[in-house]
Chain A
Amino acid sequence: MTSTTEKPAGALKERRQMNGNTVLLLITIILFFVLYAAGCAVYAGKGFATVQTFLNILRSKAGLLCVTCGMTCVMLTGGIDISVGSLVAMDCMLLSYGMANWGLSAPVMCLMVLGIGVLFGLFQGYCVGYLNIQPFIVTMAGMFFARGMTAVISTDQLSITADINQTFYNWANYRIYLPFGGTLNRKGVMIMPYFGIGVVISLVVLVVIFLMLRYTKFGRSLYAVGGSEQSAAMMGLNVKKTKLKAYLLSSFLCSIGGICYCMNTMSASVSQATGLEMDAIASSVIGGTLLTGGVGNVIGSFFGVLINGTISTIVQTNGKLASSWPNILTAALLCFFIVLQSIFALIRERKK
């Protein structure tokens, strides 16, 4: 695919006619490599160019990756789900509070969180699919509801320590070492790069969703509904049910993401994961998912998440930039890609 970029303008034009969206995906992938290479070049002295740094991006963004996979599925149907950030906060709070105060074991709490995610998604999906309410309004109400419920559970800053729940603590600190790419520390001991369970879970989710979108009936019907609801209905697809399932899937994946997120932070507070919905939407859009629905896949979203992680890692490594810079940069990138999308759409319309 990369070889075609070297061809004369005629070939490029032809390809855009075939699929203008591959251009967007290509821009994303190039952008990630450029950003990462720039980070490596500028902050090589601060250990940016190690394998561990890359794995750390995956570790800290494991929750975001799960959430983004769900978001991509919803956005494929032409909808949006902005309740995810608050839902993650609620999951974290429930996990920490439940394990600390109710004395329940880690697997039970995780199942409970997943169950709540399913119920939450079922309600949102019903409102969007069957009651035909705008997805934004429904999920915004869901966002405030979940954030409020977080405060109902507890307004304190909780943290999960080994005393509270040994099992969960062990899960979170379980390290899987890579056999290569190690670095020597100051004492001259070889430290191998490692990653945690969260990374494994999120990558499994990514692969499963990728296969689902590509090969299952449900996955294809998501694209069909997003492309055109009317044609999908005429083809005999149950549009309402598909939408309900999409929101259900999003909230369920969001709960899985919440567990991954909690494993990474090991704490909970009311203001946790604010702006996560923005990161998820931005990652999806940057990864080539069209806001109007029907186009996109999770591989693009994966690169979107990586770009997001790279930006925040660069800001952290620099150490002097204000903490609000990642937010601003993500918003700016989102804006850039949205404008690109709409320009491509305008060009397509004009050609007709």
Chain B
Amino acid sequence: MDKLKKLTKMKLFLPVFCMFLVLCVNMIYDASTGKPFYSFFQVGITNGLLSGRLVNILNRGSEVAILAIGMTLVVSASAGTDISVGSVMALCAAVCCRLLAGAAAPKATELAVPLIVGVLAAIGMGCICGAFNGGLVAYLGIQPMVATLILWTAARAIGLLVCDNLIVYVRNDTFGMIGGFVGFFPTPIIIAAVCILVVSIVLKKSAMGMYVQSVGINKSASRIAGLNSKRMIFICYLLCGVCAAIAGVVAASRITSADSNNIGLNLELDAILAVAIGGNSLGGGKFNLAGSIIGAYTIQAITTTMYNMGVSSAVAPVFKAVVVIIIVAIQAPPVKAFFRKRSAKRASLKSGKEAAAA
């Protein structure tokens, strides 16, 4: 009993447990449909490319994982979420594709400018969006979700404007490689891994991780302790914007086009869900990046499993919304207090019985 308690108290318990649950569901489903139960874990090479459902989840989950990095920092520092990430993805993708297509828009096969220019422009756009959100939240003291609500609608609309209400195609192998394959290995996995590595090294090696957490725990106390709380929050939103831009470029490259209506649709929910499943409190403060990343891939595993079972993509949000509510309700203070009271009552009953027996 004590061991179980210790296990459930561990930092990474929730995300790993969720992942385990999803894998179990997959195995049972496979077994029930007549496939070998291990078919979920099979990895092979088809047509010279790495394939398999596990690879697929890692590949498709890259965007959510990249978004989860930025979202974790934002949630930790400002106790609010950035709901504009999906739209910012669409806007950055539109800017990138529009630049790459150049005069040949809406259908181009040759790159008008070098790839790096397009990608940097997208990241620059992400910086602007992040700075806008961060400025409103940090320096004007507006609630994070209301501030990001502005870009939530505006960014997608501006993205449409950038592309003249069309889908801009860039059918080019160099551009397609970002969301495609390097040799036989899916590139998005590499990009996500690099992002995770860079951010975690920066957080570990510099004091930034500690600063972000201290701002999240108590803003004014950190300011008195000599931290520039406002600038810290601003930087978190900026990073979130950059993450959204990278995810946007990957998403655009996957379909070699900028579809402002559909890129990053509902991804803000996935990113927030990843942070919540990762065991982070949505009330800010301490964060656990590894948990968020595992959470992100868990979300993707859930999505893939649902598609595998024949649930349509429009219906999928229902299940995710239910999961969000359950997780957040468990974290809610009144529910926690209720469980604490119950276990205390049980303990007192137990000790009372023991005393009576003695």
A, B co-complexed: yes
Interface flags, A141-165, vs B, CB<8A=1, else 0: 1111101111110010000000000
CA distance A155 to B266 in the complex (A): 17
A140 in contact (CB, < 8 A): yes
Q: Is the interface of A mostly helix, strand, loop or mixed?
A: helix
Nearest-Cβ distance from residue A88 to partner chain B, whole angstroms: 16
Selected A-B contacts with CB under 8 Å, 30 pairs: A132-B333, A132-B334, A136-B81, A136-B145, A137-B328, A140-B83, A141-B324, A141-B328, A144-B317, A147-B317, A148-B314, A148-B319, A151-B312, A152-B318, A155-B314, A278-B153, A291-B143, A323-B165, A324-B157, A324-B158, A325-B161, A327-B154, A328-B161, A331-B150, A331-B157, A332-B154, A338-B140, A339-B136, A342-B140, A343-B140
B residues near A (Cβ < 8 Å) are 80-81, 83, 136, 140-143, 145-147, 149-154, 156-158, 160-161, 164-165, 266, 269, 272, 282-283, 312, 314-322, 324-325, 328-329, 332-335
Residues of chain B within 8 A of A147, CB atoms compared: 314, 317
Docked-complex contact A278 and B320, CB < 8 angstroms: no
Residues of A within 8 A of B319 (CB): 148
Size of interface on A: residues with Cβ below 8 Å to B:
46
Of B145, B154, B334, the contact of A328 (CB 8 Å cutoff): B154
Q: Which of A328-347 contact B (CB under 8 A)?
A: 328, 330-332, 334-335, 338-339, 342-343, 345-346
Q: Which residues of B contact A324 (CB under 8 A)?
A: 156-158, 160-161, 165
| CB atoms of B335 and A131 under 8 A apart | yes
- Determine how close the nearest CB of chain B comes to the CB of A114; give it in whole angstroms: 22
The chain A residue with its CB closest to the CB of B148 is A136
Residue numbers of A with Cβ under 8 A of B are 80, 82, 127, 130-134, 136-138, 140-145, 147-152, 155, 270, 275, 278, 281, 291, 322-325, 327-328, 330-332, 334-335, 338-339, 342-343, 345-346
**Docked-complex contact A144 and B153, CB < 8 angstroms:** no
- Bound CA span A325–B154, Å: 9
The residues of B that contact A270 with a CB separation of less than 8 Å are 314
CB distance from A269 to the nearest CB of B (A): 11
Instruction: Point out the residues of chain A lying under 8 angstroms from B81, CB to CB.
Output: 136-137
- The answer, among B149, B164, B283, B317, for a CB contact under 8 Å with A278, is B149
Query: What 4 A-B pairs are tightest by C-beta distance, nearest first?
Result: A148-B318, A151-B314, A331-B154, A324-B157
Closest to A291 in B: B146
Nearest CB in chain B: distance from A81 CB, A: 12
Chain A residues closer than 8 Å to B322, beta-carbon distance? 141, 145
Q: Which residue of A lies closest to B269 (CB)?
A: A144
Q: What is the CB-to-nearest-CB distance from B18 to chain A, in angstroms, rounded to a whole number?
A: 17
Q: Which of A130, A134, A281, A339 contacts B149 (CB 8 A)?
A: A281
Which B residue's beta carbon lies closest to that of A327? B157
Decide if A322 touches B334 in the complex (CB within 8 Å).
no
Which residues from chain B contact A137 at a C-beta distance below 8 Å? 81, 272, 282, 324, 328
Contacts of B328 in A (CB 8 A): 133, 137-138, 141
Question: Given the interface contacts A142-B321, A144-B320, does A134 sit within 8 Å of B282 by beta carbon?
Answer: yes
**In the complex, A1 Cα to B314 Cα: how many Å?**
51
- Closest chain A residue, CB of each to CB of B152: A278
Q: Is A149 a contact of B154 with CB atoms below 8 Å?
A: no
Instruction: Report the nearest A residue to B326, measured CB to CB.
Output: A141
Alpha-carbon separation in the docked complex, A80 to B142 (Å): 14
List the A residue with the shortest CB-CB distance to B320: A144
CB neighbours (8 Å) of A144 from chain B are 266, 269, 317-318, 320-321, 324
Distance in angstroms between the alpha carbons of A322 and B157 in the assembled complex: 10
Q: A144-B266, A328-B154, A338-B142 are in contact. List 7 more A-B contacts (CB 8 A).
A: A133-B332, A137-B81, A144-B320, A332-B154, A335-B150, A338-B146, A338-B147
In the bound complex, residues from chain B placing their C-beta under 8 Å from that of A291 are: 142-143, 146
A contact residues around B141 at 8 Å (CB): 342, 345-346
Contact indicator B140/A275 (Cβ below 8 Å): no
Chain A nearest CB from B325 CB (Å) reads: 5
**Separation in Å of the A334 CB from the closest CB of chain B?**
6
The CA of A130 and the CA of B138, in the complex, are separated in Å by: 30
Q: Which residues of chain A have C-beta atoms less than 8 A from B153's C-beta? A: 275, 278, 327, 330-331
Using known A-B contacts A138-B325, A141-B324, A338-B136, determine if residue A322 contacts B165 with beta carbons closer than 8 Å.
Answer: yes
* Minimum CB–CB distance for A4 against chain B, Å: 28
